[in-house]
A and B are shown apart, each in its own frame.
Chain A
Amino acid sequence: KAGVTQTPRYLIKTRGQQVTLSCSPISGHRSVSWYQQTPGQGLQFLFEYFSETQRNKGNFPGRFSGRQFSNSRSEMNVSTLELGDSALYLCASSSNRPGGDSTFGSGTRLTVV
């Protein structure tokens, strides 16, 4: 079965711009979570969507937002980009069953210049 697909793989943006990242989960998975990975902070939870509703949120500023569509695909948006937003953004999808069946995509590498 197809895995989690994240697009684009690489992105370069300028400070102050905004960016939208996309994640297509595994077919049948209704939960999609987003994580930010940086060398200094490691993997940090951004937010999670289930059935088009944000169910959980991490400790990130309001510039970071997301949404989920009826087909479970999710987008993440970052507005007013800062240099510190440069990171690998990972999406994970899950069937929401206990047991850690989450599957991660390969991520989007965002560079802010």
Chain B
Amino acid sequence: DQQVKQNSPSLSVQEGRISILNCDYTNSMFDYFLWYKKYPAEGPTFLISISSIKDKNEDGRFTVFLNKSAKHLSLHIVPSQPGDSAVYFCAASAGSGGSNYKLTFGKGTLLTVNP
């Protein structure tokens, strides 16, 4: 039973355009959501997070939107750059305030930004 789903295994966008990565969850107890970026042969790198009491969080080119009623979150990257090409993981936690223990991850979306 996959509690965090990233339904698009891959996404390709042009440099300078917007990248939108989507994530759905089923567990109503999740109260903190995170996005990680992963390059091959490296561990995931934390990008941005959002608490369930908010619906938007912004950090530079990265914005995460949370729609609790739809149990859906999305990561927007504007403008996209070739260096953003990586696998992006959505993760969620329940009751830990986003601390790393017992994060539930989606299976990832491979983003390719074409020059």
Contacts and interface: CB of A to CB of B under 8 A. Distances in A.
Q: Do A and B come from one complex?
A: yes
Interface of A: 4, 31, 33, 35, 41-45, 48, 50, 55-56, 58, 90, 92-94, 96-107
Nearest to B107: A42
Contact of A102 (B89, B100, B106, B108): B100
Contacts of B43: 4, 90, 92, 103-107
24 contacts: A31-B99, A31-B100, A31-B101, A33-B100, A33-B102, A35-B105, A42-B107, A43-B103, A43-B108, A45-B102, A45-B103, A45-B104, A48-B100, A56-B101, A92-B43, A99-B97, A100-B49, A100-B99, A101-B46, A101-B99, A101-B100, A103-B46, A104-B36, A106-B41
Chain A CB within 10 Å, residue with most, of B41, B43, B102, B107: B43
B44 interface: yes
Contact of A90 (B44, B97, B98, B99): B44
Contact of A94 (B41, B89, B101): B101
B69 to A, nearest CB: 23
Q: Interface residues of B: mostly helix, strand, loop or mixed?
A: loop
Contact of B32 (A31, A45, A92, A100): A100
Listed from nearest, the 3 A-B pairs whose CB atoms lie closest are: A98-B97, A102-B100, A104-B43
Contacts of B89: 42-43
Contact of A96 (B44, B99, B102, B106): B99
B100 A42 contact: no
Given A99-B49, A100-B34, A100-B49, A43 B101 contact: no
Contacts of B44: 43, 90, 104
